Structure 1
């Protein structure tokens, strides 16, 4: 079956094969969080995006393959409930933005800033800082095939969803900051074919969401 990204808590993971990288998406409870296990197809090294919850299930997905690091997209607790257990079991390095790092239950051993690169085996992910949902929220960009024109893949945490940007709790300044970052650092740079993977719920593409940007700015959330 082709990948759709539709997963549910307690259901099977969804697996997508890309040039150089395999993505496994799983939903965990109780808040229907998405966790993403990325595996380099050349070396078998793995990276986990958001050890959200259900550590036993995440460790089963990880299996015997080496987990080299865990990236936490932002400070909110529902995205790191399983972090300590997975770090203890695997010895993986912990990666997050410095502005959110103090809120995590484990020391951040590999802090990252906007524009930094994270490696998993021979694959490389670019860090995109998207300010607003939290001060240190980050997205991760994978350029499948090594060029932005080759259908990029973007892991957005809680900064971008189908239908809008992440929650800014009615704060107009935070909303403007987040939407501006999303417009300038994501939509203005990446093609419509870019597939993005959010921290909760279904995936989408930038092309599907792009026509709604003026509506999002007008409504203020």
Structure 2
């Protein structure tokens, strides 16, 4: 079955198979978060993005091969609810944006800054600091050498707009500026976007609406 990323809580994970990387997406409750398991084809190393909830579901997904790291995209509790349980079960190290780490109750082993490299075996992803939804939110960009880029956007970019900035106009301006400069600017329309909740999208599907988002202010 072709990957479409339309997962649901309690449903089956969806698998996006790339030449060097296998991406498995699962939805977990109670806030319908997406978690992503990345596996390097060459080495078998695995990294989890957002241990959001349902540790038993995530640990089944991880399987016997374990994970080397868990990346938390931002400090909101629905994105780290299962982090302690997953780290205790796997011994994985933890990564998070430098400016959000203090808001995550599980200690962060690696503080991530804009432009840092996050490795999954031989695969490299680039961290992008996108301030606004939270001070230290990060996205991860995989520029697939065999195809188009892939972005794990946390709660910073969704189908139909940027993440919630809770009525703070300065935070909104910061987020939409960062998203436009660091994602839409350098990356092509074919770039696949994997958000923290809900369905996937592409930069091409969202690009025509950037000015509309700015005008509406959310």
Q: How high is the TM-score relative to the length of structure 2? A: 0.99
Which of 154, 158, 161 pairs up with 1:157?
154
Q: Distance in 2 between matches of 1:14 and 1:161?
A: 18
Tell me how far apart the structure 2 counterparts of residues 103 and 175 of structure 1 sit (CA, whole Å): 20
The structure 1 residue matched to 2:212, chosen from 210, 215, 218, is: 215
Kept after mapping to 2: 8 A contact 1:95/1:112: yes
Match of 2:179 among 179, 182, 190: 182
Q: How many residues align?
A: 218
Give 1:66 shift.
3.0
Rounded to whole Å, the distance in 1 between the matches of 2:207 and 2:184 is 7
Q: Tell me, in whole angstroms, the C-alpha distance in 2 between the residues paired with 1:56 and 1:27.
A: 13
Aligned: 1:71 with 2:71: yes
Q: Deviations over 1:81-118 (max 9, x none)?
A: 00000000000000001211011121111111000001
Match of residue 87 from structure 2? 87
Which whole-Å CA distance do the structure 2 matches of 1:109 and 1:180 have between them?
A: 29
1:83–1:105 CA contact under 8 A, matched in 2: no
2:22 corresponds to 1:22: yes
Cα distance in 2, alignment partners of residues 50 and 66 from structure 1: 15
- The answer (yes or no) to whether the contact 1:59–1:86 under 8 Å persists in 2 is yes
Match of 1:10 in 2: 10
Query: Cα deviations across residues 144-197 of structure 1 (Å, max 9, x unaligned)?
Result: 126xxx310000000000000000011111100000000011101100000000
Q: How far apart, in 1, do the equivalents of 2:19 and 2:133 lie?
A: 31
Post-superposition CA distance 1:43-102 (Å, at most 9, x none): 110000000000001000000113000000000000000000000000000000121101
Counterpart residue number, 1:192: 189
Q: Distance in 1 between matches of 2:196 and 2:214?
A: 21
Query: In the alignment, which residue of structure 1 is the partner of 2:34?
Result: 34
Unaligned runs of 5+ in 2: none
> Which residue pairs with 2:117 in the alignment?
117
CA distance in 2, matches of 1:116, 1:197: 19
Measured in 2, the distance between the counterparts of 1:87 and 1:185 equals: 30
Whole-angstrom CA distance in 2 between matches of 1:137 and 1:6: 24
Match of 1:45 in 2: 45
Query: CA separation in 1, counterparts of 2:12 and 2:34?
Result: 12
1:202 and 1:50 map into 2 onto residues whose CA distance is: 16
> What stretches of structure 1 of length at least 5 have no aligned partner?
none
Q: Does the residue aligned with 1:85 lie in a helix, a strand or coil?
A: helix
Structure 2 counterpart SS, 1:111: strand
Are 1:101 and 1:108, in contact at CA under 8 Å, matched by a contact in 2?
yes
